[in-house]
Structure formats: C-alpha cells, structure tokens
Amino acid sequence: NAGVMQNPRHLVRRRGQEARLRCSPMKGHSHVYWYRQLPEEGLKFMVYLQKENIIDESGMPKERFSAEFPKEGPSILRIQQVVRGDSAAYFCASPTSTDTQYFGPGTRLTVL
C-alpha cells in the first residue's frame, strides 16, 4: 500500500455510535483523499484535505460526517450516530505530484 496506513482495518459499531477512522499518508506527504466504497459499487470521493485545511469536502454527506487532518498525527474521518447505510469500505489515498494516488488498505465498517 505504498506506505499509506489506515486503522482500524475492521470496525464494528452499533447504530447510534460514533466511528473514527484514521489515515496516515505516505511519509513526507501532507495531503489525503477519503473515499467510500459500498459493496459491489465504485469509489465515491468524500473529502480532500491537507494538514490543517479542508480543500474540498463536496463529497461529504451534510450531516454526521466530518474530517480533519491536524498538524500532528493522522487524518481522521468521523461518523457520528452511525446507521446501517454507513456500512462500507472507507479508503484513504495519498496523492503524488503526478496526480497518482496510492491507497491505504482501507477500513471496513460494519454497523449492526
């Protein structure tokens, strides 16, 4: 996964709980993309961040979802009050100067 780290790899939450997904981009990189992939569907862009700044959050649902990338530490995608429809694989990707994106292993969220 080109050094892109995500954790946890699997996350189980009950409806109404909060989910926190973490992503560390490739070493020395300061931008991340977050994507969601529902079962048997394509990748859906959610948000693009650089450290301490949200560049584009046009793909984020208006409610319950938020993302941050602090100066220190990983990027975090936060889902409040999860519902069954949030069950999906969430990937982060680390872009390079040539626009290539390298993906982390993903977090599989299951909402019971």
Partner 1 sequence: QKEVEQNSGPLSVPEGAIASLNCTYSDRGSQSFFWYRQYSGKSPELIMFIYSNGDKEDGRFTAQLNKASQYVSLLIRDSQPSDSATYLCAVKGDSNYQLIWGAGTKLIIKP
| 105 touches partner 1 (CB under 8 A) | yes
Among 57, 66, 102, 110, binds partner 1 (CB under 8 A): 102
Q: How many residues touch partner 1 (CB under 8 A)?
A: 19
Q: What is the C-alpha separation between 75 and 34, in angstroms, rounded?
A: 9
Residue from 12, 16, 38, 56 touching partner 1 (CB under 8 A): that is 56
Distance between CA atoms of 44 and 60, rounded to whole angstroms? 10
Nearest-angstrom CA–CA distance, 13 and 32: 24
- Binders in 60-99 for partner 1, by CB under 8 A: 91, 95, 98-99
Q: What's the one-letter identity of residue 37? A: Q
Contact letters (x/-) for partner 1, 17-46, by CB under 8 A?
------------------------xxx-x-
Task: Give the full edge-to-edge strand order of the sheet including 19-24.
Answer: 5-7, 19-24, 75-79, 65-68
Which of 21, 25, 48, 60: binder of partner 1 (CB under 8 A)? 48
Let me know the angle formed at the C-alpha of 108 by 107 and 112, rounded to the nearest 5 degrees.
Answer: 135
Q: Which residues bind partner 1 (CB under 8 A)?
A: 1, 41-43, 45, 48, 55-56, 91, 95, 98-106
